Structure 1
């Protein structure tokens, strides 16, 4: 088999992955480690700890399982975790037993046999316990290769104090046209409706908002990929709207998500709203403590009045690496974190759950529950989880991620940021982005058509 042919076959396998409607393409997981003793092991766990709750979670697990220890190595970010795992795989050693990954990256490791098929532990029988969106993203060849930690329906978070000053009622923003009119009023006060610098950090909000607009910027069919960044109807809608916000100086194009300046602007009220995933409350509470009582959350604006269409922004999951010699104990840890008390604790500390039993529980939406009081106080007395749960139950359009999602995110920042700096139009930037995505896909062995 030539190297090109190998790449083409691997590309065909990778291209099976879609968020909605995952199809089987063959291939199998080769578990290179061993299951080991489910009650005795020293586990190594890689991931990030945005909620600062990992020590408490691990202590709880170890208390229930005295024969198992868990050493947590904080990798900092999802991107760092993915890179570290890729390096360990290339070296043939050094991978952890359990790894936290962003949902879209799970299958790229599954198809090469570097993650364990969790149906060997009965995980496939747990599907109905999770929301369909997060669960579906973790399947390869109709088998689960990770278990979801959370989910992230896209929401509109806004600073009511700033909106009040601008004469805007956040609860009356039902459509994107409403949002545009509100943005003009907010800008007149000196604040910005939101930020967007076109950086790699804005890639996930881009995919979420384009997804909600019905866009199909890329279509994957076996080893065939069609790129259409500027002619697709949903992309036209998204690009035109964003260009209007840029041209009229209604968004701060100099600040990237997750930067220090972003946190400062959320805390001083100069950024008045965010469209971002339902996992944001705990991050907002940490980033903008001076705005306690001012922030609110509501449903995402719609493109057509009366619609109730959502989309997913982010999401993370736990998987077992094939190098692990403690796979049985590792799965026990994953069960605790995604199906057991660990999942409940994460929900209590601000992680938006993917587990239906938590979302549907009275405690999760009870405003008098101790776990909700701090969040609800920050959000001015709103019943936050009730609003987030409503979003999680809304319909979603069909959408796919590219099988080289990591490249797509990095390239997004390189190609799209010039448009937010007004060096070129957003349409020109997306056309160039599509060209780069198509070139990379071809280099990886895919049969790529770029339609614009």
Structure 2
């Protein structure tokens, strides 16, 4: 437990303190940048682009660099800095993690979607849409075929996504090899947590198992031991939860690994720069499906398809829908 990422273990922890699942990966949210496209548009070397990216600490910094890129690209309304999702909550989870907020209320609290972090992110995204810094993601988010094509067409050159998205590059966008750099996500205020675990694919042992203890022991070995983590990283490209592997040079800097080969920098160098205590968690509880369904089907479409739509009104509508479910 001392080497496991706390936020990932807590995701599968019940209200009684027991752990009910073993995680496949951290799913740490990071920022992906197309250094090649940025350099071509801005007339900068790879080193100079990376220096600019590494200088991004806050969302204000991120917006400033994006404005510089879009102006240099000279195709405003066609080439964008990023895209925002109408069918996914990743951006909002990241915002909540940065402020230490959780719209589910956890096991004991009442769900509250009208959080400052959520309002700040949606308001910022509306600003980007109005200024042509961002577009709405084709098909709703970047993890679909239209999203892959949009990335390959270099219509966007940066976006936040969990580290498991690395396999989308190797599987669906192999020609992008050598173009992309991974970095920490910006924060609203310096010193905030800069990542959140998304996904994780917890695995459990059923009560019907004829060998529950053996199955649980195997599960922990396969998903959390250093041997198991080696296979998870090499085969699946998942960012592993056992942080002992992060600083193991033969693990993290193995140049035969396809993911180490694909990106400009080593993914685990980014994880180490984040640190396991800077990865936030949003609870998954009974009300979670209701929140996610309403956010993705209604709220995000309201405020992002129409950037003049009131964020406060949209979140009030969402809160009303969630409260109706909570009262049942």
TM class by smaller structure: 0.7 to 0.9
Distance 1:347 1:377, change over 3 A: closer
* Equivalent residue, structure 1, for 2:174: 289
TM-score, with normalisation over the residues of structure 2?
0.84
Q: Which residue of 2 aligns with 1:170?
A: 53
Question: How big is the shift at 1:401?
Answer: 4.4
Deviation at 1:346, TM superposition (A): 0.7
Matches within 5 A, 1:180-259: 180-188=63-71, 189=73, 190=75, 191-199=79-87, 202-220=88-106, 222=108, 224-229=109-114, 232-255=115-138, 256-257=140-141, 258-259=143-144
Contact 2:222 2:229 survives alignment (8 Å): yes
- Alignment match, 1:405: 288
Give the match's secondary structure for 1:274: strand
Alignment of 1:414 onto 2:297: yes
The partner residue of 1:271 within 156, 164, 180 is 156
Structure 1 residues 187 and 442, CA gap change in structure 2 (3 angstroms): farther
Assess, with a 3 A threshold, how the Cα gap between structure 1 residues 220 and 136 changes in structure 2: closer, same or farther.
closer
* SS of residue in 2 equivalent to 1:360: coil
Q: Report the CA distance between 1:354 and its aligned residue.
A: 0.4
Unaligned segments of structure 1, at least 5 residues: 1-126, 444-452
* Distance of aligned partners of 1:249 and 1:435 in 2 relative to their CA distance in 1, 3 Å threshold: farther
Change (3 A) 1:401 1:212: farther
1:343 corresponds to which of 229, 233, 246: 229
Tell me, in whole angstroms, the C-alpha distance in 1 between the residues paired with 2:41 and 2:283.
38
More strand by share: 1
Structure 1 counterpart of 2:314: 429
Aligned pairs (5 A) from 1:15-26: none
Instruction: Give the RMSD, CA atoms, in angstroms.
Output: 2.5
Q: What's the secondary structure of 1:351's corresponding residue?
A: coil
Q: Secondary structure at the match of 2:80?
A: coil
In structure 2, relative to structure 1, the CA distance for the partners of 1:433 and 1:225 (3 Å cut) is: same
Deviation at 1:364, TM superposition (A): 2.4
Partner secondary structure for residue 148 of structure 1: coil
Equivalent position SS for 1:403 = coil
Tell me what 1:334 maps to.
219
1:354 aligns with 2:247: no
Structure 2 gap segments, 5+ residues each: 43-48
- TM-fit CA distance, 1:186: 3.4
For 1:128-158, what per-residue CA distance to the aligned partner results, in whole angstroms no more than 9, with x for missing partners? 3421111111111111111122102221111
Per-residue deviation at 1:332?
4.2
User: Quick one: structure 1 residues 187 and 214, their matched pair in 2 at CA, closer, same or farther if it must change by over 3 Å?
Assistant: farther
Residue 322 of structure 1: how far off its partner (Å): 2.1
For residue 172 of structure 1, report the CA deviation from its aligned partner.
2.1
**Residue matched to 2:263:** 379
Residue correspondence of structure 1 range 290-305 to structure 2 within 5 A: 290-305=175-190
Q: In the TM superposition, what is the alpha-carbon distance from 1:411 to its structure 2 partner?
A: 1.7
- Aligned equivalent of 2:251: 364
SS of residue in 2 equivalent to 1:316: coil
- C-alpha distance in structure 1 between counterparts of 2:313 and 2:249, whole Å: 49
Counterpart residue number, 1:438 = 323
Q: 3-state SS of the aligned residue for 2:324? A: helix
Larger Rg: 1
Q: Is the 8 A contact 1:212 1:396 kept in 2?
A: no
The 1:426/1:162 distance shift into structure 2, 3 A limit, reads farther
**Which residue pairs with 2:5 in the alignment?**
131
CA contact (8 A) 2:28 2:279 kept: no
Q: Following TM superposition, by how much is the alpha carbon of 1:166 offset from its aligned partner in structure 2, in angstroms? A: 4.0
**Deviation at residue 280 of structure 1 after TM alignment:** 2.3
Whether the 8 Å contact between 1:131 and 1:355 is mirrored in structure 2 is: yes
Q: Distance in 2 between matches of 1:174 and 1:270?
A: 24
**SS in structure 2 opposite 1:195?**
strand
**1:156 touches 1:273 (CA, 8 Å); kept in 2?**
yes
CA distance in 1 between partners of 2:102 and 2:213 (Å): 40
